[in-house]
């Protein structure tokens, strides 16, 4: 999988190490994470804080380079657990969640990197800040979190060409001087890399289908 990511980067005229692979291990057991670690994979993504809590802390001592990204919709009452567990929280998408994360950072004395999730298709059922509110929310988060705010994340609509949505997110990140662009999953990571993704979140294509 990392070879496919590097090849897509090369086709886009980008450096082979320009794009990092986040292996999405949700629903797969800790053994699957261990097998990936053994192959040199260090970045992992989990949707649910509770599931991450059962798998990852035990693996940390033996794998200090491992990094955990929280990538699924986060309830405010899980913010403190997320701040304690995660290295990156990719789903900051509303003021109340930003409040909860700020409070958790204070209490835990620990600051994960943060990404603002944008609802690039403005789909009613999806999480993410609406596109019309994105600039203001990103500015507010930068004021509040400073350098901990490192980038943007999106999940484009399932139907249609994701390319324009990826391009929109890349332009938004550039406007705000944010370096990290988490976009692209099993079905569309090559298109995301063509538009500047720095992180792709791939589950099925690495671990197989989720039961």
Ligand X SMILES: *Cc1c(COP(=O)(O)O)cnc(C)c1O
Return residues touching ligand X (CB under 6 A).
Answer: 24, 26, 47, 71-72, 155, 185-187, 201-205
Residue closer to ligand X by CB (options 149, 154) is: 154
Q: Which residue is nearest to ligand X (CB)?
A: 203
Residue closer to ligand X by CB (options 112, 203) is: 203
Residue 49 to residue 70: CA distance in whole angstroms: 7
> Please, what is the minimum distance in Å from the beta carbon of residue 57 to ligand X?
21
Residue closer to ligand X by CB (options 56, 144) is: 56
> Please, what is the minimum distance in Å from the beta carbon of residue 91 to ligand X?
8
Structure tokens at 84: 């304690």
Residue 195 to residue 171: CA distance in whole angstroms: 10
Query: Is residue 94 within 8 Å of residue 117, measured between CB atoms?
Result: no
Residue closer to ligand X by CB (options 4, 26) is: 26
Residue closer to ligand X by CB (options 86, 202) is: 202
First-to-last alpha carbon distance for the chain, in angstroms, is 21
Q: At what angle do helices 131-145 and 95-108 cross, to 10 degrees?
A: 20
- C-alpha closest to that of 155 among 121, 125, 186, 130: 121
Burial bucket for residue 103 (CB in 10 Å: 0-12, 13-18, 19+): middle
> Please, what is the minimum distance in Å from the beta carbon of residue 9 to ligand X?
18
> Please, what is the minimum distance in Å from the beta carbon of residue 119 to ligand X?
12
- C-alpha closest to that of 117 among 204, 29, 15, 45: 45
Residue closer to ligand X by CB (options 19, 202) is: 202
Structure tokens at 57: 């802390």
> Please, what is the minimum distance in Å from the beta carbon of residue 83 to ligand X?
19
> Please, what is the minimum distance in Å from the beta carbon of residue 188 to ligand X?
9
């Amino acid at each position: 999988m990392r070879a496919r990511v590097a090849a897509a980067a090369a086709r886009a005229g980008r450096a082979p190490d320009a794009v990092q692979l986040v292996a999405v291990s949700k629903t797969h057991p800790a053994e699957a994470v261990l097998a990936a670690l053994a192959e040199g994979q260090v970045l992992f993504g989990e949707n649910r804080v509770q599931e991450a809590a059962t798998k990852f802390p035990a693996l940390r001592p033996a794998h200090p380079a491992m990094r955990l990204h929280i990538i699924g919709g986060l309830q405010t009452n899980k913010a403190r657990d997320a701040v304690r567990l995660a290295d990156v929280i990719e789903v900051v998408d509303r003021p109340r969640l930003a409040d909860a994360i700020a409070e958790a950072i204070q209490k835990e004395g620990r600051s994960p990197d943060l990404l603002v999730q944008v609802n690039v298709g403005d789909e009613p059922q999806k999480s993410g800040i609406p596109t019309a509110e994105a600039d203001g929310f990103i500015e507010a988060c930068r004021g509040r979190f400073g350098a901990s705010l490192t980038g943007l994340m999106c999940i484009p609509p399932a139907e249609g060409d994701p390319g324009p949505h990826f391009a929109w997110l890349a332009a938004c990140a550039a406007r705000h001087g944010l370096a990290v662009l988490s976009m692209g999953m099993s079905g569309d990571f090559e298109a995301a890399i063509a538009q500047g993704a720095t992180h792709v979140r791939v589950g099925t294509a690495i671990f197989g289908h989720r039961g």
